[in-house]
Amino acid sequence: MENTILRSIDFDAYFGDNHVVKKVNMDIPKNNVIAVMGPSGCGKTTFLRCINRMHELIEGAKTKGKMLLNEEDVYSMHPIFVRHKIGMVFQRPNPFPNLSIYDNVIAGYKLNGMKITRADRDAIVESSLQKAALWNEVKDSLHKKGTFLSGGQQQRLCIARAIAMEPEILLLDEPTSALDPISTSSIEELLHELKKNYTLIIVTHNMQQAGRVSDRTAFFYMGELIEYDVTKNMFTNPRDERTQNYITGRFS
Amino acid sequence: MAQNINYRLGKSKSFRGLVIFFSILCTLPLFLILFYIIREGIIHINWNFLINLPKPVGETGGGIANALIGSLLIVFYAAVIAIPFGIMGGIYLSENKNSWLSYWCRLSVDVLQGTPSIVVGIVIYFWIVKPLGTFSALSGSIALAVMMLPIIVRSTEETLKLLPSTLKEAGLALGLPYHKVMLRIILPCGFSGVLSGIILAVARIAGETAPLLFTAFGNPYFTTDISKPMQSLPLLIFNYATSPYDEWHNLAWGAALILLLWILLLNIITKITTRRWKIQF
């Protein structure tokens, strides 16, 4: 595939003896939105957390196989560099409660000890918040604590915090599952904007969302990647029976 | 039937009454002690009492300046020693719930908390006072630091455990190194809890007498040299209250009141810090 940014080759993940991601092969093209969907416990979140090596933080977690970012295996890089290149947004908004909005956005630089000038910092904060469609709402209260924002705003703050580091890939782990419908749709709109600059991989248990936001969709079931295709094809003409059953709501 | 119900209602009413009665009894001791010590001590406390040294037997007046400053110094150095150890240990325990080290660390900290303070004092005496050949305020601080350690370790552990794990993940997912995540995000978020643990530990050890008997020893003169014996409030109370002289009894009452007020104040500060600096999620 041309322009492939991330490639997983025969990738397995385990919790202890529990084999939760099985032999996943997946090529992810640049500047696309990839939705990963599937029923609960199908390994989609685990797979996502393997991409930026968050999976290994859990005791007893193991992985096998290759995960190539621009043809370089992330498992031979230092996790800190992997996570600079692959940002992540979590299920629940988790801005740092001890930091202001401004400091939250710049946290990746500040706490990594990167020396940047004040002007650069201001520019990064403004452009990240612009990209996360939050700038207009918070530009007058940048030095207030991020936790005073609403849930949807907090989640956009987390997106701003992640893209401030200029990652190549942004992982989103059910980013709207804790949000109301209005916040959800504003985040979904945002994803369309963000894919101009980043490659997005979004885990969702919501099929409609996968259909709305993604260019390609991967369907996971029982730890296996059942089907991976252009979203339109997958929803109109699924090749696998299990995919069809899932899409038509025969199991969830 | 109705009579039966009345009987049962009466029983539960009287049980409720008993619970209230005993909870009132539980609050009484503190107020009785406060009342008694204030009544005995308040008349001796004035500015001179705070800034003068004790006078020899037979002279009236005199104060507790040496003990007040001594207590502050000894407790301060104890806190300086215990806080880094305690916080680091607490961080480890909150992060590693099941390793063998955390098992042994938690166990030993718990046992240490139950160790009689006189035992801590005698051990520090053999380890530090004897080899150095002199009683010193520093050895007293070390003994008190040992007493403080368990409280700080456990309060840090409990506080950090309550923080959502997503907070740590958010930091790590930004590519922050572990030490930055712990020191710049997790610890500040749990700051109020950690701080209140420290203040409670200080309040707890400020009145300890036994570990100081063979370490800081006491000193009738004013000193700020921590390599020398130093007076402290609990020691002064112990020595003067058991003396046969009325003037010294008065000093002891005054010192007891000061000590009590100090501890009361620390407890109130703890309550305020936990409320005011609590971080909202």
Tell me yes or no: is domain A4-91+167-247 CATH 3.30.1370.60: no
* Confidence check: pLDDT of A1 > 70: no
User: Which one of A94, A149, A169, A171 would you mutate to disrupt binding with B, by most B Cβ within 10 Å of its Cβ?
Assistant: A94
Residues of chain A with C-beta less than 8 angstroms from the C-beta of B189: 96-98
Nearest to B173 among A83, A92, A98 (CB): A83
Per-residue pLDDT, averaged over A162-187, amounts to 90
CA-based nearest distance A246→chain B, Å? 30
| Cα separations in angstroms, A38 against A186, A227, B76, B273 | 23, 11, 58, 46
Residues 92-121 of B with CB under 8 A from A: 98
The pLDDT value recorded for residue B281 is 65
- What chain A residue is nearest to B167 in terms of C-alpha separation? A94
Is A252 a residue whose pLDDT tops 70?
Answer: no
**Quick one: angle between helices A151-163 and A101-110, nearest 10?**
30
- Mean pLDDT on A84-98: 92
What was the pLDDT predicted at B272?
87
Contact A85, A166 (CB under 8 A): no
Cβ of A145 and B173 within 8 Å?
no
Q: How open is the CA angle A218-A220-A222, to the nearest 5 degrees?
A: 170
Please tell me if residue B183 touches chain A, with a CB cutoff of 8 Å: no
Q: B189 at the A interface (CB within 8 A)?
A: yes
With a threshold of 0.85, tell me whether the complex ipTM lies above it.
Answer: yes
Q: How confident is the model at residue A29 (pLDDT cuts 50, 70, 90)?
A: very high
Determine whether the interchain pair B169/A147 forms a contact, defined as Cβ–Cβ distance below 8 Å: no
Residue ranges of A 12-71 with Cβ closer than 8 A to chain B: 52, 54, 57, 59
What is the pTM for the complete model shown?
0.84
**Sequence-ordered list of residues with C-beta below 8 angstroms from that of B259, at least 6 positions apart, any chain:** B71, B206, B207, B233, B234, B237
